[in-house]
Amino acid sequence: MSYDVKIINRIEDINEGEWDALGAGVPCGSLGWTRFALDASPDFQPCFILLYEGGRLVGRATAAFNKQHGMSIPSPIKRMVVDNLLTRFPLLQCQAAPANLTCMSSLILPEGNEVEAMRCITTALHQIARLRPTSFIALGWLTEAEQRAIAQTGLYHTQAHNETVLVNRWANFDEYVQTLSKTARKDYRQHTNHARKMGIRIEETRQFAQYADQFQALMGNVDAHYQNNGSAIPSRAFFELAERELADSGAMLLAWVGDTLAGFGYLLHDQGILKPSLLGKDYRYQYVYFEIFYAMLRYGIDNGFRLIRGGVGGAYQFKTSLGFENRPTYTAYTSPSPVFGWIGTRLTRGMNADSLREQAGVEA
């Protein structure tokens, strides 16, 4: 089976009704979320790959060029090589939104014919990659079904990661705490007691744009801590737009010590799934991360979200002690150039490919 493939460069040329119908039930799958990403991130200039069968939209992908890799790369040499490489030869990244806001792949493949659809999308991605010098074509946050389809094409290298998720089975946060192990309950009490002694308090708000400069500095602290200059810190305009447009789809958690903003966590939710999207902290205050994380859990459980995503990599033991389970997710990449393909294979050996945003709690 072959598909009629269209590459659309302007969101205005997309039929919103058919886009939203295809993405029904997919978290952040509506065109409204994509429109927000475009408005909030001027550098995000995606192409939309649409697959039609008999005039009906049955599959799609979103791809954009990106000079930020968003990875924590321990080796200074590898980091320098990757940063310099992407400055001249950016990634073509297949992802629903920039800055790991939603951590979704952007792929929707027709059920039962995923492999052929993925071949068609790959051909379109290579066509887009010919528009400018491109190092790699990368697809992140892939589900197991998407990864299987991609693997069967034989066109990509893949890496597996474990995302942590919490399935909500409780009526409220206090009930949840009572079901934790004795050790986890003890840790929770100790963390909150230490935080109280330090004067850490959490404020939940939807009015936060005035703190944009502080958010950027706190996120910069995390970048510096993990030696990562490959991530894009959202602009002041992003926070202003998020406050205005996502009041019903997000919440900001502010961690205060007196009048000092010591950390923050920005939460987004859709289709019953809660995702901590942005994190920044002042490393002088040891228990800030724990308090933000507990506040995120309280917000998610008390508001009845069915699934809370805990991210990839960071603070793994802490999260598993709180009942988070592993859920595999995948990254796939290929290159228009055999030379870049050879370089990519060697650069990714032993590289921690987890998103920095998800690692921010490793040393909470």
pLDDT in tens, 120-159: 999 999 999 999 999 999 998 899 999 999 999 999 998 8
HEC per residue, 102-156: CCCCCCECCCCCHHHHHHHHHHHHHHHHCCCCCCCEEEEEECHHHHHHHHHHCCC
Residue 125, CA distances (Å) to 6, 65, 317 in order: 11, 11, 38
Give the tens place of pLDDT for each residue, 165-178: 999 999 999 999 99
Q: Is residue 192 part of a domain?
A: yes
Give the tens place of pLDDT for each residue, 9-63: 999 999 999 999 999 999 999 999 999 999 988 888 999 999 999 999 999 999 9
90 band by pLDDT with thresholds 50, 70 and 90: very high
Residues 148 and 170 placed together within one structural domain of the fold: no
Q: Is 47 left (phi over 0), alpha (psi -120 to 50) or beta?
A: beta
Question: Considering the chain, what is the average pLDDT of its residues?
Answer: 89
Q: Residue 34 sits in which domain range? A: 4-161+329-359
Residues 126 and 184 placed together within one structural domain of the fold: no
Residues 145 and 171 placed together within one structural domain of the fold: no
Q: Is residue 364 part of a domain?
A: no
The tokens of 314 are what?
Answer: 């960071």
Question: If 0-12 CB within 10 Å is exposed, 13-18 middle and 19+ buried, where does residue 128 land?
Answer: buried
Residues 58 and 127 placed together within one structural domain of the fold: yes
Residues 11 and 106 placed together within one structural domain of the fold: yes
Give the tens place of pLDDT for each residue, 180-208: 999 999 999 999 999 999 999 999 999 99
pLDDT at 99 over 60: no
Residues 316 and 247 placed together within one structural domain of the fold: yes
| CATH number for position 38 | 3.40.630.30
Residues 301 and 355 placed together within one structural domain of the fold: no
Residues 183 and 249 placed together within one structural domain of the fold: yes
**Whole-angstrom distance, CA of residue 343 vs CA of residue 10:** 33
Give the tens place of pLDDT for each residue, 321-350: 999 999 999 999 999 877 777 766 666 655
Residues 104 and 139 placed together within one structural domain of the fold: yes
Query: What residues does 280 pair with on adjacent strands?
Result: 264
